[in-house]
Amino acid sequence: MVLLLLCLAILFIFRDHPRMTTVQRGAVDVVAFTSNIVLAPFDAWDSLLDSVRSRTALQDEVLRLQQENRVLKGQAQRLASLLSENARYKALLNSARDIEDELIAAQISSVSPDPARHLVMLDKGAADGVEEGQPVLGAEGLIGQIVLVGEYNSRALLITDSAHALPVQVNRSGLRAIAEGSGDIDRLVIRHLAATTDIRAGDLLVTSGLGGRFPHGYPVARVTNVEIAAGDAFAVVSAAPASALDRGRHVLVVAQSSQFEGAIAP
Amino acid sequence: MTRAQAVWVIYASLAGALLFTLLPLPMDWRGLRPDVAALALFYWVLALPHRVGVATAFTVGVAQDLIEGAPLGLSSPGLMLATLLLLFNYQRIRQFDLLQQSLAILVLMLISSGIEQWLRNGIAVPAAPWAGVAGIICSVLCWVPIRTILRHSRRYYEVY
């Protein structure tokens, strides 16, 4: 009975108490450590498969990566001049200068077993400069944010978790909206957009920078479907995350965003 | 205290069951993972009610929350209530055949996960009722093998 009351008290009153958070942060490292041990045989198998890949396959990959690198370098050349041009214009307009965001490379080490949540474990923590509230980027766009930081590991909440929502902007028209997680790994939902709004399938959604959590301009999702039922005041817009959330292990944590020095942790 | 009573077997099996939760599964299949920790807990309550009770259920629940990254105290109340029901009825349930026992476990799992889903709604943590039901069905199917394994290890190590 006492324990039951304790549970309910923790749940409803002391959920965000600093001491509870300390316990949870400590547990992040312990859980990550044990799950790494559990996963070690699987990782060993993967690296064994990697090590016996044929020479030609590796050569092909090197060639592909070199070509990709050349293309990206070519694009980066233009980027440098564009950035300086942009900086000059911004100086003319007297607005704050964009400094490049500082990125921490991390790997997704495991996924939370809770089927209702989209929580993943990252292998970088407070010791590497990760803090709560920092955005997490995948290969093609934003995938989530850090919610709980241990010393050497951290937990990130993906944007498709049904408790997650983020402010976005339609890249084409500049229209602002809130993209909510749907609980499905490949779908975000935008509700409460007037049925007459200019939004189409194929539109790119980028972070709008409102709210002070996510820096402006990272791609988030692409609109897949706009549903307007006759007589409804609002359209229901579905979007697919730009980065495949259930594939790929390498992510980037935006450690220092110049745009929001005073961003508040959750 | 002339003989070791091998109580560690209980805690080792519970820890092993919790490790099972950490095994990797594809994102969309996670709902089908049987709740082995709860099954192991129920087995030990049934077999040794004087050793394993509500306090152990509380600990298992807290460990599950920490593993899942859920708010603390989310899984414990359900497990504790199910354990309490089991403690009131263990003599009857021990006499059941395997099918009846599985059905009893089904009821206990429904109660414990129902309470968990209800608490999730209460504090606005996402709940997945249908994935929960699928997981419960998988769990109930796992009752017989888990009971057999734990029964053998209990006899082998002479836990009492």
CA distance A172 to chain B (A): 32
Read off the pLDDT of residues A22-71 as tens digits, 9 standing for 90 and up. Answer: 888 888 888 888 888 888 888 888 888 878 877 888 889 899 999 999 98
Q: Which residue's entry shows tokens 């709210």?
A: A211
Interface mutation vs chain A, best among B25, B72, B75, B121, most A CBs within 10 Å: B72
* Confidence label for B106 from pLDDT (cuts 50, 70 and 90): very high
Please tell me which residue, B158 or A189, carries the higher pLDDT value: A189
Which pLDDT score is estimated for A205? 93
Read off the pLDDT of residues A135-165 as tens digits, 9 standing for 90 and up. Answer: 999 888 899 999 999 999 999 999 999 889 9
Q: What is the mean pLDDT of residues B59-88?
A: 90
Report CA-CA distances (Å) from B48 to A108, A241, B44, B64.
40, 50, 6, 22
Q: Do A10 and B73 touch (CB under 8 A)?
A: yes
Q: Do B77 and A4 touch (CB under 8 A)?
A: yes
ipTM: 0.83
Please state, in angstroms and rounded to a whole number, the distance separating the CA atoms of residues A155 and B151: 37
User: Does residue B126 belong to the interface with chain A, where contact is any CB pair within 8 Å?
Assistant: yes
Check pLDDT > 60 for residue A99: no
Read off the pLDDT of residues A111-140 as tens digits, 9 standing for 90 and up. Answer: 888 888 899 999 999 999 899 889 999 888
CATH number of B5-156: 1.10.1760
Which pLDDT score is estimated for B37? 93
User: Does residue B23 belong to the interface with chain A, where contact is any CB pair within 8 Å?
Assistant: yes
Question: For residue A255, which of A95, A80, A122, A110 has the smallest C-alpha distance?
Answer: A122
Quote the mean pLDDT of chain A. Answer: 84
Check pLDDT > 80 for residue A80: no
E strands present in chain A: 102-111, 119-122, 135-137, 142-149, 154-158, 165-170, 176-181, 188-194, 204-207, 219-227, 234-241, 250-256
Cβ-Cβ contacts under 8 Å, B125 against chain A: 116-117, 163
The conformation of residue A126, written as its DSSP 8-state character, comes to G
Which pLDDT score is estimated for A101? 73
For residue B69, give the nearest of A8, A23, A112 by CB distance.
A112
Our CA dihedral for B89, B92, B93, B98, rounded to 10 degrees, sits at -170
Cβ-Cβ contacts under 8 Å, A35 against chain B: 22
Q: Do A3 and B33 touch (CB under 8 A)?
A: no
This prediction's pTM:
0.82
Which pLDDT score is estimated for A66? 93
Question: For residue A119, which of B126, B22, B23, B68 has the smallest C-alpha distance?
Answer: B68
Q: Which residue's entry shows tokens 């450590």?
A: A33
Which pLDDT score is estimated for B88? 93
Please tell me which residue, A14 or B158, carries the higher pLDDT value: B158
User: Does residue B72 belong to the interface with chain A, where contact is any CB pair within 8 Å?
Assistant: yes
Q: Do B66 and A11 touch (CB under 8 A)?
A: no
Which pLDDT score is estimated for A240? 93
* Highest mean pLDDT pick, A45-49, B2-6, B108-112: B108-112
Which residues are registered as beta bridge partners of A136?
Answer: A144, A253
**Alpha-carbon torsion A88, A92, A93, A98, what sign?**
positive
Q: Do A15 and B80 touch (CB under 8 A)?
A: no
Domain spans of chain B, in order of start: 5-156
User: Does residue B124 belong to the interface with chain A, where contact is any CB pair within 8 Å?
Assistant: yes
Cβ-Cβ contacts under 8 Å, A183 against chain B: 126, 128
Cβ-Cβ contacts under 8 Å, B135 against chain A: 115
A182: nearest CA in chain B?
A: B126
Q: Do A113 and B33 touch (CB under 8 A)?
A: yes
Please state, in angstroms and rounded to a whole number, the distance separating the CA atoms of residues A166 and B157: 54
Interface mutation vs chain A, best among B19, B22, B23, B54, most A CBs within 10 Å: B22
User: Does residue B85 belong to the interface with chain A, where contact is any CB pair within 8 Å?
Assistant: no
Question: For residue B77, which of A159, A8, A116 has the smallest C-alpha distance?
Answer: A8
* Confidence label for A261 from pLDDT (cuts 50, 70 and 90): very low
Please tell me which residue, A54 or A265, carries the higher pLDDT value: A54
Q: What are phi and psi of A236, to 5 degrees?
A: -110, 115
